[in-house]
Structures are given as C-alpha cells and as structure tokens.
Structure 1
C-alpha cells in the first residue's frame, strides 16, 4: 500500500496540475473577483469531485460510464456550459467595454460573487463525465488484492480531494497576489479574452472528443 499510495499521489498530482477547463475558469474568476472568487471557484470544483466520489461509491458513476447515451448527454452539456462561459467572457471583454473588477469590499456583493464562483466551479466539474472515469478506472488500479475495497477507495478518493483543495487554495492565493497588476484594464481585458478563447476551445474539444 505505501508504494502504491505514493504512486497514486504522483499520478493524481499530475492530473491536478494539468491545465484544463477548471484552471481557466478559476483564473478567469480570480481576475474578476480576486483571490476570494478564485478560491470559491476551486471549492466548487472540489465539491464536484466529492460528488463523483460519492456517486462512484453508490455505483451511479458506473452507470454513467457504461451508458454511451448518458455519457454523451453529460459531455455535451458540459461542453455547452464551457462554451457559454467562454462566450460570456469574450462579450464582457469586447472592445470598448471597460468593466471594473468585482470587489469583495461590500458584503452583499461578496456573497453573490462567491456563490456565482462556487456554482460555476461546481457545474464545470459535475458536467465533466471524465471525472467519473477517474474514479472507475484509475483508483481501482491502486487497490491491492486483500485490501478492503471500500475503505481503500475512500482513502484514495479523500487524498485526491485533499490534494485538489490544497492546489486550488495555493492557486487562488497566487492569483490574488497578482491582483493589483491584473486589475489594470488592459491586462485584465487581455487575460479575460484569452481565458474566454480557451474556455470556448476546451468546450469544443470536449464536444468532439470521444471517451
């Protein structure tokens, strides 16, 4: 178990650090709302991971992975959501549009911003059926014969989730540290347009990619 556990941490660490839709979304929200928005987006992503972990334990994720129709429906919904977020970012960063960065100085706005950021991160992950495949294909490879499957799977899934939480906390603080520089209109709009293009491209890639 110790050697396999270290190997599992290495693999999941690489998966966590690999740029993808979540990272583009967290960066985009961090630019607009600072470290708080980035952190709550990351928490939404982690909640989505936890949801798939629970679904995997209940056997629901296996149904999703085994059903081509269900997998395709969730995949296309996720792709459409990414394209929507990307198109919205491009629209908000259109030429001549100078939108002040969201602030967390006012309590009511902060609550709304955090909720929106969390919801976007959550939906981004829940509408990504490939996360279900991680729990169904990756984690079982690190469960040795003779080990209690449920307990070992719970430890591995919990470690995966803890690593994701640690990463998004670190990433959100890094984005917040760059907040003053990114708050400049030109820089903010440039990054907004870049992340918008990335989100649209990732959405199209998800839509036209098989399992």
Structure 2
C-alpha cells in the first residue's frame, strides 16, 4: 500500500506540471492582483480537483465515459467559460484608457472570493479532469485494498500535490508582479492570457 501511495504521489506531481487552463488563470490572477488573490485561485482550483476525485470515488464521473451527451454538456460548458474569461480580459484591455508610460495600471482588484470561484469553475468545467480522475486514480488501488477509502485518500493527495506545485508559481508571479503591473506590460500580458484562454476554449469546443 505504501508503494501505491508513493507511486501515485509521483505520477500526480508529473500530471500537475502539465500546463492547462488552470495554470493560465492562476498565474494571471497572481500577477495582476497579487499573491493572495493568486492563492485564492489556487484554492478554488484544488476544490475542483477534490470534487473530481470524490466524483471518481463515488462513480459519478464514470458518467462521462458512459454518456456522450453528459460529456458534451460539460465540454461545451467548460469551453464557454474559458472563452468568456478570455474575451472579458481582451475587452478590458480594449476599453481601458491609456495611462502615462511607466505608471502602474490602476484597476479595481479582483476579490479573493471571486478568484476562488474562478479557480473552481475553471477546473470543474473541464471534462478531461473528470476522465482523468475516473481512469487514473483506480490504477493505483492495490489488489484486495478497500476501494472507496483508497480513492478518497488519492483524491486528497491529488489536491495536495497540485497545491504544492502551484505554490512556487504564485510566489514567483508575485515577485515579478511589480514590473508586470506597468501599463504597457500588463496590457500585453492581458492580451496574451486572454488569447490563450479563448484558444483553449475553442479547442475544447471543437475537439471530438
């Protein structure tokens, strides 16, 4: 059983390193609004990870494998969320009045509660996370071990590993946020992150 936990910890860490929509949203929030807001986004993301893990443990996310309609509903919903977030970022850049060169951008910061919600929605609206949970977690359950408790334990480990990975990213983003908050740099970053989110949403919507 100890070998299974160690193997799962290593595999979950490798998976956490793969960039995706959550990475874009977390880094963007940390740079634009600071480390605390970035950490709130991370906590929201980990709530989504934990929910997918619990769904896999209780067999709910197996519906994504059994029902094409269920998968498509979550896929289109997730795509719409990503496109909306990206388009909103691009629209803010377009309508924002230019400020003196070198001055930090003056915009109302996103609340930590809203950042947490963004992290949760971004993760939980991704059907790939559900498919990953239902196909990945059971592989590490040792033969003869109680399945439900093991899957619940793996779900918690998955969320903790994800948290460990994002902590240094948020810290690094906070370190450079002073430079990146300058008007010209921030506008460019908002354009890039908005375009990436729209691209990820479109890709999620059109892929089979």
Both proteins in one fold, TM over 0.5: yes
2:113 corresponds to 1:100: no
Residue matched to 2:164:
166
Cα deviations across residues 145-164 of structure 1 (Å, max 9, x unaligned)? 11121222222211111111
1:1-20 alignment, distance < 5 Å: 1-20=1-20
Cα deviations across residues 78-98 of structure 1 (Å, max 9, x unaligned)? 001101101111111127634
Cα deviations across residues 62-90 of structure 1 (Å, max 9, x unaligned)? 12331110110110010011011011111
Residue matched to 1:45:
45
Q: Deviation at 1:172?
A: 1.6
C-alpha spacing 1:124/1:96, structure 2 compared with 1 (3 Å): closer
2:180 corresponds to 1:182: yes
Contact persistence 2:89–2:191 (CA under 8 A): yes
Q: Distance in 2 between matches of 1:84 and 1:95?
A: 16
Residue 157 of structure 1 is aligned with which of 141, 155, 180?
Answer: 155
Residue matched to 2:25:
25
Cα deviations across residues 116-156 of structure 1 (Å, max 9, x unaligned)? 11111111111111111122100111112111212222222
2:78 corresponds to 1:72: no
> TM-score of the superposition, structure 2-length normalised?
0.90
Contact persistence 2:53–2:151 (CA under 8 A): no
Cα deviations across residues 35-77 of structure 1 (Å, max 9, x unaligned)? 1111111111111111122222332211233111011011001
Counterpart of 2:111 in 1: which secondary structure? helix
Q: Deviation at 1:181?
A: 1.0
Residue 193 of structure 2 is aligned with which of 179, 185, 195?
Answer: 195
Residue matched to 1:108:
none
Contact persistence 2:13–2:165 (CA under 8 A): no
Q: Deviation at 1:10?
A: 2.2
Contact persistence 1:30–1:172 (CA under 8 A): yes
2:108 corresponds to 1:140: no
5+ residue gaps, structure 2, are 99-104
> TM-score of the superposition, structure 1-length normalised?
0.88
Counterpart of 1:94 in 2: which secondary structure? helix
Counterpart of 1:19 in 2: which secondary structure? coil
